[in-house]
Amino acid sequence: MDVELRQLRVFLTVASELHFSRAARRLHVSQPALSQQIRALEKTLGAALFDRSSRATELTPAGRVLLDAAPRVLFEAERAQSLVTQAANGAVGLLVVGSVGTALASITPRILRAMRASFPDLQLEVSQQDTAAQLVALADGRLDVGVVRAASPTATVAVEHLVSEPLLAALPGDHPLAGEDEIDPAALAEEPFVLWPRPLGRAFFDIITAYCRDHGFSPRIVAEGADIETQLGLVAAGLGVSLQPAYYANLRPPGVVFRPLSGEVPMVSLQVAWRRNDHSPAVAHFVDAARASAP
């Protein structure tokens, strides 16, 4: 059985009019051509749909069943066509997104709002991941797109700059330097440090250690945290000081104060990253939204 959607639309027109001449006028075809289409549909279905034995045209029991089912078939067919078109345009489906915590405290929410406004039927699955994990997941195909920090492009993953902010000193609220308007980085030389483990973000770790060496010392790392909440919690507990991107000041963690550093300060970049060979429209939409969300 091979029923065409066009045949169902013709059938519904005749069923609504119960008059072949009026239905033919509505469809802008001749009555013989319309009758031929209905006979072809009846032959395909193996059942008479209209009773033409009297002056009035009436639906047969089989016709009444088709009258009930046909609108649902047409709706689902049109819905499927719409979904396929939207999927081809990147407007539906699933987009798996990674983001460093820095970006979740700043630019990522703006990107997600823009995506939701433009593509409400596109499902966004968002997880917080460090830069190193995102680069691996992108290369492996477990992430579609990511917002990373201070990353270098690879043969597999493209990276594009979005926004930069300076490093700040993160201090326990009762630290002697907490009352200063600006911190001389040399004043941190004897302080214990709380930092990210280098494997979670080599480029960012190297920015911090190089900055410290430029001011005459290597940071004495006493604790590491795999996420920013852990690190700031350790700072609040008084285990040490830290150097963090200014984005994290938006978190306003209790027991931690952020102070600007004097002199020339490294800028930390947030970037959007995606697979070079991924030509998905949804990924392209996310990259465009990221560009538009950057200041």
pLDDT in tens, 105-132: 889 999 999 999 999 988 899 999 989 8
pLDDT < 50 positions in the chain: none
- pLDDT of 81: 76
- pLDDT of 91: 60
- Which pTM value belongs to this model? 0.64
Fold agreement (97-161+270-293, 163-268): yes
- pLDDT of 102: 81
- pLDDT of 78: 81
Q: What is the DSSP letter of 153?
A: P
- pLDDT of 222: 96
State the helix-helix crossing angle for 131-140 and 202-214, rounded to 10 degrees: 150
- Residues contacting 5, CB < 8 A, separation 6+: 73, 74, 77
CATH fit for domain 163-268, picks 3.40.190.10, 3.40.50.10470, 3.40.50.2020, 3.40.50.300: 3.40.190.10
CATH fit for domain 5-88, picks 1.20.1300.10, 1.10.10.10, 3.40.50.1820, 1.10.340.30: 1.10.10.10
Place of tokens 């820095």: 102
How far apart CA 111 and CA 76 sit, in angstroms, is: 32
- pLDDT of 223: 95
| pLDDT tens figures, 16-67 | 888 888 888 998 999 889 889 889 988 988 899 998 877 788 899 998 998 8
Under 8 Å between Cβ of 248 and 258:
yes
Residue 273 Cα distances to 137, 162, 184, 205, 225, angstroms: 11, 10, 34, 19, 24
CATH fit for domain 97-161+270-293, picks 3.40.190.10, 2.40.30.10, 3.40.50.1580, 3.75.10.10: 3.40.190.10
How far apart CA 8 and CA 78 sit, in angstroms, is: 13
What length does the chain have?
A: 295
